[in-house]
Amino acid sequence: MIHLKGVMKNYDVGGRQVAALRNIDLTIRKGEIFGIIGHSGAGKSTLIRTINMLERPTAGEVVVDGVEMTKLGTGKLQLERRSIGMIFQHFNLLSSATVADNIAFPLRLAKLPKEEIARRVEELIGLVGLTGHGSKYPAQLSGGQKQRVGIARALATNPKVLLCDEATSALDPQTTGAILSLLLDINKQLGITIVLITHEMNVIRTICDRVAVIDGGEIVEEGPVTDVFLKPQHRTTREFVAQVSDVAAIGLETSGSAAAGNRTLVRVTYIGEQTYQPVLYETMRETNVPFVILQGTVSKLKDTPYGQLVVELQGQEGGAEQAIALLRGRGLDVEVIQHG
């Protein structure tokens, strides 16, 4: 659906070239919700804006639904942009226009008939949950309602792709949850491909299918959210996961009940239906290894349940190794934190 190949973006700063993006290779599949996460200044906003050519890359290719965007002239680019909607952190609404007129704005630019515009606006107002608010002005709306208007406006021309530029960063946690739920519903109902950038890992784990981590203008980690969240490889990724991880770094803490040298600390990760099954208990009973659960959580990554436990295995080392092997054989991920 979206392919970025060798994308680079340089800015001229004081007569010298500063790289904002470095050799970005990225593929975003049709119909998925793809997240891009990074710290401020990492290049994530520049990256998402290259998709609709609001930022023209210095080098590389940007292909959206089979169209090479970097080769389009002004006229054709404007036409292609109708298939790429965009919502913004600070809403970017017309303050002197009503909700209905804000949503109608791109339709009027496309010179659609008045009757069609009216029908489409009414349909979108209902879709985003703003029925009865069409005649209000932005100043009369809450932040969440303003963002709903922004989403409706972005969807006005029936785009194939929806770009979300920090769409929830200006909202409180409860409103953020409502907006993420709306985006998830839109994705499911319309099959639209959603690309969102954020600096909040909670946004990624709530609605995204896959994620790319950007640092210093480079993609440093990429993959399914379940893999990246539960097994982060890069330092930056681990920092973001730590923001929302319910299982804190355990360090060298133990229960204190095992003799020195006769304990093994492990982190056990469950994914899917095994999250709700007594696999740990059954394994320890089978191997006769005493254990203590020091920390634990059960949660979800989008629609996928997962669990993480930090467990102290007690007794002889051979018994712990046997238990770990059995757990791994039953499909669980087991990370040894410390021996002895």
Residue 39 φ then ψ, to 5°: -75, 170
According to DSSP, residue 264 is labeled E
Report the amino acid identity of residue 261. G
Report the pLDDT value the prediction gives residue 15, as an integer from 0 to 100. Answer: 86
CA 161 distance to own-chain centroid: 15
Q: Where are the domains of the chain?
A: 2-244, 263-339
CATH 3.60.21.10 assigned to 263-339: no
Report the pLDDT value the prediction gives residue 340, as an integer from 0 to 100. Answer: 62
Handedness of CA 323, 326, 328, 330 (dihedral sign): negative
Q: Is the pLDDT of residue 156 over 80?
A: yes
Report the pLDDT value the prediction gives residue 180, as an integer from 0 to 100. Answer: 95
Report the pLDDT value the prediction gives residue 198, as an integer from 0 to 100. Answer: 94
Output 261 or 289, whichever has higher pLDDT: 289
Q: What is the CA radius of gyration of the chain?
A: 24
User: Can you read off the two tokens belonging to residue 182?
Assistant: 């709306």
Report the pLDDT value the prediction gives residue 256, as an integer from 0 to 100. Answer: 54
Mean pLDDT of the chain: 91
Contact present, 247 and 295 (Cβ < 8 Å): yes
Report the pLDDT value the prediction gives residue 159, as an integer from 0 to 100. Answer: 95
Q: What is the pLDDT of residues 134-151, one digit of tens each?
A: 999 999 999 999 999 999
Give the span between the Cα atoms of 296 and 132, in whole angstroms. Answer: 45
Which element (helix H / strand E) includes 299?
A: strand 291-301
Provide the pLDDT confidence category of residue 247 given band limits of 50, 70 and 90.
low
Give the span between the Cα atoms of 194 and 308, in whole angstroms. Answer: 29
Q: Among residues 149, 49, 144, which one has the least CA distance to residue 94? A: 149
Give the span between the Cα atoms of 163 and 81, in whole angstroms. Answer: 11
Strand-strand pairing, 193-198 and 161-165: parallel
Which CATH entry fits the domain spanning 2-244: 3.40.50.1970, 3.40.50.2000, 3.40.50.300, 1.10.10.10? 3.40.50.300
Average pLDDT rounded to a whole number, residues 277-283: 91
How many CA atoms within 13 Å lie on the side-chain side of 234?
A: 17
Average pLDDT rounded to a whole number, residues 59-82: 93
Q: What is the pLDDT of residues 13-51, one digit of tens each?
A: 888 989 999 999 999 999 999 999 999 999 999 999 999
Report the pLDDT value the prediction gives residue 10, as an integer from 0 to 100. Answer: 95
Give the span between the Cα atoms of 166 and 184, in whole angstroms. Answer: 16
Q: What is the pLDDT of residues 71-98, one digit of tens each?
A: 999 999 988 999 999 998 888 999 999 9
Report the pLDDT value the prediction gives residue 337, as an integer from 0 to 100. Answer: 87
Handedness of CA 211, 8, 47, 240 (dihedral sign): positive
Report the pLDDT value the prediction gives residue 332, as an integer from 0 to 100. Answer: 92
How many CA atoms within 13 Å lie on the side-chain side of 67?
A: 17
Average pLDDT rounded to a whole number, residues 305-321: 88
Report the amino acid identity of residue 68. E
First to last CA, the chain: 51
Average pLDDT rounded to a whole number, residues 226-237: 92
Provide the pLDDT confidence category of residue 226 given band limits of 50, 70 and 90.
very high
Domains 2-244 and 263-339 share a fold: no
Give how far Cα 115 sits from Cα of 108, 308, 309, Å.
Answer: 11, 55, 58
Give how far Cα 283 sits from Cα of 62, 290, 331, Å.
Answer: 50, 11, 12
Output 318 or 64, whichever has higher pLDDT: 64
Sheet holding 333-339, edge to edge: 291-301, 304-314, 263-271, 333-339
Output 265 or 254, whichever has higher pLDDT: 265
Average pLDDT rounded to a whole number, residues 227-236: 92
Q: Is the pLDDT of residue 258 over 50?
A: no
Average pLDDT rounded to a whole number, residues 195-221: 95
User: Can you read off the two tokens belonging to residue 334?
Assistant: 């087991």
Q: Is the pLDDT of residue 259 over 50?
A: no
Sheet holding 59-64, edge to edge: 16-28, 2-13, 59-64, 67-68
Average pLDDT rounded to a whole number, residues 217-228: 95
Unique residue bearing structure tokens 């309602």 = 145
E-assigned strand segments in 91-174? 161-165
Give the span between the Cα atoms of 6 and 22, in whole angstroms. Answer: 8
Provide the pLDDT confidence category of residue 169 given band limits of 50, 70 and 90.
confident
Entry pTM: 0.88
